């Protein structure tokens, strides 16, 4: 009778440990696949590049945190010289623009954040050179 209780406890402990380990193994790849790669501020405005998998497109986030009437945009250029940009012109409403980066992460050359100024050249941060996986 005592041996039966021990077996039940050992079996229960084994199943609990196995279930916890399985949940960690399942959860880990998803967390590792999407992580911040570059974060850049322009005043209070923010631009971010998030990495996907090594050979997959990531995502960009751009947040206009200033109610100054000037939209803010993030600009990426790949190694072939193609440039794309995404704009948030909401002016500090707390809603950021998030989109797929289109470019494969390991082929992005640089990123920068710019503020659009009417009738003048846009005010941009320095370009951040990106060498992810090269």
Q: In the chain, pLDDT over 70 holds for what percent of residues?
A: 69
Residue 83's pLDDT band (boundaries 50, 70, 90)? very high
Q: Is residue 69 a contact partner of residue 115, using CB atoms and an 8 Å limit? A: no
Residue 23's pLDDT band (boundaries 50, 70, 90)? very low
Residue 23 phi, psi (nearest 5): -65, -35
For 89, other C-beta atoms within 10 Å of its C-beta total: 13
H or E, element range at 49: strand 45-51
pLDDT higher than threshold 70 for residue 20: no
Domain over 34-129 is classified CATH 2.60.40.1120:
no
Per-residue model confidence (pLDDT) at position 29: 39
* Residues whose CB is less than 8 angstroms from the CB of residue 92 and which lie 6 or more positions away in sequence, other chains included: 64, 65, 66, 67
Per-residue model confidence (pLDDT) at position 28: 37
Question: Which has more confidence, 82 or 21?
Answer: 82
For residue 94, the SS3 value is coil
Residue 30's pLDDT band (boundaries 50, 70, 90)? very low
pLDDT higher than threshold 90 for residue 85: yes
Question: Which has more confidence, 95 or 90?
Answer: 95
Per-domain boundaries in the chain: 1-32, 34-129
- Give the burial class of 96: count Cβ atoms within 10 A of its Cβ; 0-12 exposed, 13-18 middle, 19 or more buried: middle
Cα 105 from chain centre:
11
Residue 36's pLDDT band (boundaries 50, 70, 90)? confident
How large is the greatest C-alpha to C-alpha distance in the chain, in angstroms? 88
Q: In the chain, pLDDT over 90 holds for what percent of residues?
A: 38
């Amino acid at each position: 009778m005592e041996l039966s209780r021990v077996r039940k406890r050992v079996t229960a402990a084994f199943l609990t440990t196995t279930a916890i380990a399985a949940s960690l193994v399942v959860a880990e790849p998803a967390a590792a696949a999407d992580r911040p790669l570059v974060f850049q501020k322009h005043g209070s405005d923010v631009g971010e590049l998030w990495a996907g998998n090594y050979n997959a497109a990531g995502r960009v986030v751009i947040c206009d945190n200033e109610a100054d009437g000037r939209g803010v945009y993030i600009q990426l250029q790949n190694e072939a010289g193609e440039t794309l940009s995404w704009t948030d012109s909401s002016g500090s409403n707390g809603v950021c623009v998030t989109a797929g980066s289109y470019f494969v992460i390991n082929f992005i050359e640089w990123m920068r954040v710019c503020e659009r100024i009417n009738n003048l050249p846009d005010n941009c941060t320095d370009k951040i050179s990106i060498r992810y996986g090269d």
